[in-house]
Amino acid sequence: MAGFFFVCREFLDEEHVRLSFHEYLMKTREIVPVRRKAYLRRKFGPGSERIVERLGDYVSCDTARLPDGETVVLYPGGELGFFSKEGRPCWRGELTYHGCGVSGLAADGAFFWSAVPEQNAVVRFSAATKKVVLRVGGGASQVFDGPCTLARYGRALYVCNERSRSISTVSLDRFVVRDYQHFHEPVYQFFRWQEEELAVLSSGVYLL
């Protein structure tokens, strides 16, 4: 991957929106236009066209791909779907924890992680059993404050905390939580490309 894709929305009027697709190239620091098809394939995998026919809204969801080729699709609030690598629907349900919706996806083998903002926790969901099998944080713990998205790199999970304006790491071997970065404004996403790191803050995207 040479960079990351993103979507721009242009509101034409109260009912119509025009979407344009772009890639930020990490090596050259350039923004270049890309085709919708390239964006969909990057986000949903080889079965992207069939998946999008089922979804309708393909922008506001998060996705992750499992080792068997399945694509997981999650909408804010917890609407969850599994699709085969050919794009066929395999399972549909809702992912909540203690009645609270989740956000964000980070694949971890046959599992994936999601954040539970209202519970100040992150949870691991089993693709096989379709159940939450592990929780980190929450309850009396104060290791997270408004976790909203997460990303996995190696054996570490990077959790963006909107309310505490910070990024935390979770060791996936011992499940120890540590502070990683602090900001002066809310942080919504974290990316890593080779040795470079980026964060999406309320005022824009920044190299760390």
Per-residue pLDDT, 61? 93
Average pLDDT over residues 89-116: 93
Share of the chain above pLDDT 90, in %: 72
**Whole-angstrom Cα distance, residue 109 to residue 46?**
19
Average pLDDT over residues 81-104: 93
Both tokens assigned to 191: 């990316």
State whether residue 44 is helix, strand or coil. Answer: helix
pLDDT band, very low/low/confident/very high, at 136 (cuts 50, 70, 90) = very high
Residue that wins the pLDDT comparison between 201 and 139: 201
Per-residue pLDDT, 9? 78
Maximal C-alpha separation, the chain: 51
Average pLDDT over residues 91-113: 92
**Whole-angstrom Cα distance, residue 48 to residue 88?**
10
Cα 163 to chain centroid distance, Å, stands at 18
Average pLDDT over residues 184-201: 90
Both tokens assigned to 161: 């905390």
Quote the mean pLDDT of the chain: 91
**Whole-angstrom Cα distance, residue 191 to residue 112?**
17
Both tokens assigned to 131: 């159940």
Q: Considering the entire predicted model, what is its pTM? A: 0.90
Contacts of 177 by beta carbon, 8 Å cutoff, 6+ apart: 136, 137, 143, 144, 168, 169, 170
Average pLDDT over residues 12-36: 85
Q: Is the pLDDT confidence value at 86 over 80?
A: yes
Per-residue pLDDT, 65? 92
Per-residue pLDDT, 1? 54
DSSP assignments along 140-161, one per residue: T--S-SSEEEEEEETTEEEEEE
Per-residue pLDDT, 87? 94
pLDDT band, very low/low/confident/very high, at 10 (cuts 50, 70, 90) = confident
